[in-house]
Amino acid sequence: MGDDTSGFDCGVPSLTNWLQIRAIRNEAGGASRTFISCDADSGVVAGYYCLAASSLRSDEAVGGVRRNMPDPIPVILIGRLAVDSRFHGVGLGASLLQDAVLKAVEASRLIGARAVVVYAVDDSAVAFYRRFGFAIMPKSARCLYLLTADAEATVRELAGG
């Protein structure tokens, strides 16, 4: 991760600061992998997301996630996903989500994961993920999931067909 993140600002301080302060440390420590999208013309960081292996306790999960799974349930976490304010409204968030879900599906084929999980930062983010097939975990209105078995359809939808 050698990109200059100092000019990145998505409008949500916790997401901006995470990229600028924590991403490199998490990468070095093996806690997560961060994927960055840069503007082709200017080279500035336009958006990013990170993925990590994670788990859910059975009592946190809905029946469809919990069914026939060990406790804890293996999942792939989209730890962060953000787009710089200068690039809002051009579909970059959907493209980043498509790539994140695709990579999560690939990872689940190698290590096994029941679902892709995300903790949305606010109600707007909840609506964004719901638009692409993520469902809300009943015990947490900001925790959403997509079964890996359903993720391929979501990737096709995000690709526009």
Query: Residues with catalytic annotation?
Result: 129
> Rounded to whole angstroms, what are the CA distances from 3 to 19, 47, 77, 84?
11, 11, 23, 14
Structure tokens at 117: 């999980």
Residues 6+ apart with CB under 8 A from 8: 16, 19, 20, 44, 45, 48, 84
Instruction: Report CA-CA distances (Å) from 72 to 17, 88, 104, 115.
Output: 30, 36, 18, 12
Q: What Rg, from alpha-carbon coordinates, does the chain have?
A: 15
User: Helix or strand or coil: residue 107?
Assistant: helix
Phi, psi of 31, rounded to the nearest 5 degrees: -80, -30
Q: How far apart are CA 105 and CA 92, in angstroms?
A: 20
